[in-house]
Structure 1
Amino acid sequence: MRQKPFRTKPSQGNSAQVLAREKDVTRAEAINALLTRPIAILPAKVGDPIRPFALGLWNEIRCLLKEEISVSTLRKATGRYVHSRSYQTAVARPRSSRHDISGAPVDIVSDADRLAAQQNYESLRTGRAADRTMSTAAPASLRSSPPLRAEMIRTALLSRNGIGSA
C-alpha cells in the first residue's frame, strides 16, 4: 500500500501549513474551470498551501462564474473543496489566517470556526471508519432496510386514503 505524503511544512509551533495533495489540486482545478479566470487562493500544484477562505469570499467567486455554468454547479464544486479533510485541517490549525481571493491573508480564523473545523475533521475521520465498519460488519438486512421515516410517511398516506386500514 502506498504511503500518503507528509502534509505539513515545518514551521514554528503547531501552525504549520497544510499542503495540497493531488485530490486538493483536482478540486481546485474543477472550481477554476467554472470561472472566467483562475483564483489565486486555490492551490495550483501539489505542495501549494491550502488557505482558508475569507468570510464572504463566496460572493466574489460567484461573480467570476462563466455565464453558461449554473451557480449550483459552482456551489457543489466549492463545497467539495471546503468540506475536504485538508481544508478543514487548514482551518483548524492554531493561528491560521483567512485569505482573500488573491491569496493574501486578511483575518485570523476565529476560535469558534477553528473548533468547528476540528469537529468536522474528526467526524470525517470517524465517519469514514464507521462506514467501512458498517459495510463489512453489518448483516445485509441492516444495510438494505428502508428508512423508517419513509415507511411512516407511506403508511400515513395509505391510511389517510383508506387503503391500509382494516
Structure 2
Amino acid sequence: MRTFANVQELKEAVGETLGPTEWRTVTQEQVNTFADATDDHQWIHVDPERAKESPFGGTIAHGFLTLSLLPSFMTQLMSVGEIEMAVNFGLNKVRFAKPVPVGSRVRATGQIVSVKNSPAGQLAELKVSVELEGERRAVCVAEALLLYVAKA
C-alpha cells in the first residue's frame, strides 16, 4: 500500500501506478449474498448446476459485484493522511471486459490520473483495473472518483 502524507503528496504522484492488491477469491456465497442485496437472481449467477451447461461452464460473479470490490481494493492500494474523510464520488467510465468465474481470484492495480480542486475538497481520479488470476486482460476497468475533504 502506498501511504500519502496529505493530498498535496497525492497530487505530486499523478501518473503513478499503485498495487497490486492481495488476491481475493470470489465465492458462491458472496455472489448469492450480492444477488439477495440487489434482487438480481439470474441463474448464471446463482444456479451452479444449470450454469455448468452455459458457455461459462459455471456460475459467474455479477459485473456490479466486481465493481463493488473497488472500495476494498482502494484501501489496499493507498491511504491519504491529513484528511477528515474520503468519499466515493462516482465513476466516469466502467467496462466489464470478461466474466469472473465463481471460485477464481481477482486483484487490482490503480493509476492516479488526476487530483483537482473541488468546492467540497480535492477530487482524485484513479483508473482501477481488476485482473483475474491467470488472465492477461483486465476483467473490469473503472475510472473511480474519490473526494478528499480536509480536516477543519
TM-score normalized by the length of structure 1:
0.23
The structure with more radius of gyration: 1
TM-score normalized by the length of structure 2:
0.24
Higher relative contact order (CA 8 A, sep 6+): 2
Structure with bigger helix share is 1
